[in-house]
Amino acid sequence: MKHYQRRRSAVATRHAIEQIPSDAREQRARHLVAREHGQRLEAARADLQAAQEAHERAIALVPVAAEAVEAAKSALAAIETEPAFVNVLMAG
């Protein structure tokens, strides 16, 4: 999964913006906000894709698991119907 990680602190971003001349500051601030939003959006989309793929793999395993359960039940039933152990040494 791709997780969003802020590349620098909000304080560092604010300080960087404060260093820009006031006429360009608003434009730069919008650019930085848009870039961070885009990064978060990309990470969220990647997380959704990974979750959907994991879900599809899990759904594909359901028939296999159901068959394994039925095989285990059959094996258990076969063992339960076997005659109980008789100690032939003590019987005679």
Sign of the CA dihedral running 61, 63, 65, 68: negative
Look up residue 31 and give its two tokens.
């650019």
Whether 1 has a pLDDT exceeding 90, the answer reads: no
Whether 46 has a pLDDT exceeding 60, the answer reads: yes
Report the predicted TM-score, pTM, of the whole model to 2 decimal places: 0.56
Model confidence pLDDT, tens digit, residues 63-86? 999 999 999 999 999 988 888 766
- Sorted by sequence, the CB contacts under 8 Å of residue 17 that are 6+ apart come out as 25, 28, 29, 32
Contact 4, 46 (CB under 8 A): no
Model confidence pLDDT, tens digit, residues 3-24? 656 666 777 777 877 787 887 8
